[in-house]
Structure 1
Amino acid sequence: MSAFNRNLIPTNETPKDYAIPTPPTDGITQLSFSPIADYLAVSSWDNQVRIYEVNQTTGSAVGKALYPHEGPALCCTWSKDGSKVFSGGADKAGRMFDTATGQAMQIAQHDAPIKCIKWVDSGTTPVVATGSWDKTLKYWDLRTPQPVLSVNLPERCYAMDLIFPLMVVATAERHVMIYDMRNPGTVFKQSQSPLKWQTRTVACFNAANGYAIGSIEGRVGIQYLDEKDNQTTSFSFKCHRENNVNVYAVNAISFHPLHGTFSTAGSDGTFNFWDKDSKQRLKGFTSIGCPIVSTTFNRNGSIFAYAAGYDWSKGYQQPSYSTQQIKDAIFLHAVKDEDVKPRAAKGKR
């Protein structure tokens, strides 16, 4: 049941955003901003991971580096200090790129493609977590070639997010595995997705006390970890739909780093900003004309990056929606504070 107040929904605005030059030549899989500077890592189906430098003053971006996988690159992330980029791909390998030396090296290996990769900010040991279609979750100490820990998953890893100490892994068949990174080898909680259809994306709350999950059915679930909270405040809502007839996948969810509000983006080519606490949509934007496949905020939430491209939601040779009509692109949206700041619920001051 939708818990958002439809009486408070604002009108949509047409996005007028900057397109980064020389984007990937095939489908973009993930965007990830550096936690310390405005550098954007981009993984894509053309087997490359690219790094762009974004200049907020001039509203422009330029390519700074790229490194290859031996197959499509499916995910990317940064180290806490912004000195390393990590990525995983269909070549079953996890790789690390050193921004200082410009060198890339393999740091992880699975028996199937690596769909998700995250830096584990333990504060002591440099560890990277990888989630794969081989139904395992592995932890890698960058100082050793073998995984320090391997955990079996109930199904293929589809989506993963981590805000220490919380890590949420969503797999095929709607399984959701929750881990406390202070005890990473043991499942803290296992459940089914609150949504009825296949999971597409998951994102941890900034406070690491819950997560948002999105599916192919145009619906998002807001889930709190505490059982008491779960009974009183967890809910699901509909989005990325046209008159509730045409239903689109929710491909990406990103939380604003300062305000704790969040974005959703979908196969309908729209993105929206939401406030989960007051249960309001804060801002909506009209469709860009093709699916949005990945999103991310920069470190202070002043830039919202989103990637456009075909997400195969209408199949392989869908006549009215083919890859020839869609250009892979990355857009930078200048975030207005009033569009992402939390608001009081209706009737409250």
Structure 2
Amino acid sequence: MMNISAEEKDIEISQPPSDTVSELSFSPQADYLAASSWDNSVRIWEVQSNGTSIGKAMYSHQGPALCCSWSTDGTKLVSGGTDKAGRLFDLNAGKDTQVAAHDAPIRCVRFVEAPGSASPILVTGSWDKTIKYWDLRSQAPIGTVTLPERCYAMDAIHPLLVVATADKKVLVFDLNNPTTIFKTMTSPLKHQTRSISCFRTKDGFALGSIEGRVGIQYLQDTEPKKSFSYKAHREKENFFPTNSVCFNPVFGSLLTAGSDGNMITWDKDAKSRLKSFPSANIPITSTCFNKTGNILAYSVGYDWSKGLQGSNQTEKRTIFLHSVKEAEVKTKSS
């Protein structure tokens, strides 16, 4: 349990990457935090009970690392990058190896369970308009699915896998039949998808877009207007990309974070805002909760949403750890 008093500020991680973080991922087994970064590196820290962090490992891609994700047992971390390679770091062996390849940058990676396989299966989503399934014991993909467009965001909770692509398409997969597209839909949001996260209940997903809106989408919309969308990271005429959406693993509340530097928790079932955190005043690029939901990690840094002219080289690029209070994430139903 992270013990930080209410008066204390969020704690900065030790030895952060030298450039903006593309994705954060907490191990499902222990308080190990991983981060992929635009400085080509993938780093792992162990977060202590007092909120301090110890660097445990680091390895590199041959270009910016765009994504990272842990295996269910917490012994392996996988990452993808602009070098078109998927790399696997084995925590026990302390080394990384290439385990996947695409014809364009790998934007998304997730470990999934596969029917009839004792070995974890890796899914990689790429700008080459495919997702590929990999059994880590063989060098060739065991399955490839052609997407309508480039893969921009992806999440999975067995048996649900959702992939968001360019041109506002969202593809739903049933992992019991992983190479067949179960459902194709158009995003309920008007602009490009930026982030996606499956409901803990596995019956839908939340997605964020570049115009600061969030969509709550149920797979089986039996009740009228059960799915809805709303403004999350907008201020009058200004809108900011919703860079990250993630659910608290204990209470199921939704956390959204954007280019406006704001993080907000929401009760999607009550359609209400729970907590607005103090602004970081720098774009927040990624967020994630640890397995017990009491530590929130978030990365800040330039996200290129305003192009080259908006880049400020003096702007901070780092990761913070926030000690989560129950009131910040507890929903009415929980």
Give me the TM-score of the superposition, normalised by structure 1: 0.91
For residues 175-218 of structure 1, the C-alpha deviation after alignment (integer angstroms, 9 at most, x for no partner) is 00000000011111001000000110000000110000100111
1:344: Cα distance to partner? 5.9
Secondary structure at 2:108's aligned position in 1?
strand
Whether 2:159 is the aligned partner of 1:170: answer: no
Asked whether the 8 Å contact 1:305–1:331 carries over to 2, the reply is yes
Structure 2: which 5+ runs fail to align?
A: 1-5
Q: 1:173 and 1:223 mapped to 2: Cα distance?
A: 18
Counterpart of 2:38 (choices 25, 35, 45) is: 45
For residues 297-336 of structure 1, the C-alpha deviation after alignment (integer angstroms, 9 at most, x for no partner) is 0001000100000001111023xxx322311110001000
Q: 2:198 and 2:15 mapped to 1: Cα distance?
A: 31
Counterpart of 1:324 (choices 313, 320, 331) is: 313
Corresponding residue of 2:328: 339
Q: 2:17 and 2:255 mapped to 1: Cα distance?
A: 23
Structure 1: which 5+ runs fail to align?
A: 1-12
Corresponding residue of 1:98: 90
Corresponding residue of 1:10: none
1:68: Cα distance to partner? 1.0
Whether 2:172 is the aligned partner of 1:183: answer: no
1:26: Cα distance to partner? 1.1
Whether 2:117 is the aligned partner of 1:128: answer: no
Q: 2:97 and 2:119 mapped to 1: Cα distance?
A: 19
1:14: Cα distance to partner? 10
Q: 1:173 and 1:182 mapped to 2: Cα distance?
A: 27
What root-mean-square deviation, in Å, do the aligned CA atoms of Structure 1 and Structure 2 show?
A: 1.5
Asked whether the 8 Å contact 1:31–1:76 carries over to 2, the reply is yes
Counterpart of 1:27 (choices 20, 25, 33) is: 20
Corresponding residue of 2:142: 148
Greater than 3 Å deviation, 4+ residue runs: none
**2:179 corresponds to which letter in structure 1?**
G
For residues 152-193 of structure 1, the C-alpha deviation after alignment (integer angstroms, 9 at most, x for no partner) is 000000000001100100000100000000001111100100
Corresponding residue of 1:4: none
Q: 1:169 and 1:15 mapped to 2: Cα distance?
A: 38
Secondary structure at 1:77's aligned position in 2?
strand
Asked whether the 8 Å contact 1:267–1:313 carries over to 2, the reply is yes
Secondary structure at 1:317's aligned position in 2?
helix
**1:323 corresponds to which letter in structure 2?**
N
Give me the TM-score of the superposition, normalised by structure 2: 0.95
1:338: Cα distance to partner? 1.4
Secondary structure at 2:138's aligned position in 1?
coil
Counterpart of 1:18 (choices 11, 24, 42) is: 11
Corresponding residue of 1:115: 107
Secondary structure at 1:185's aligned position in 2?
coil
Corresponding residue of 1:300: 292
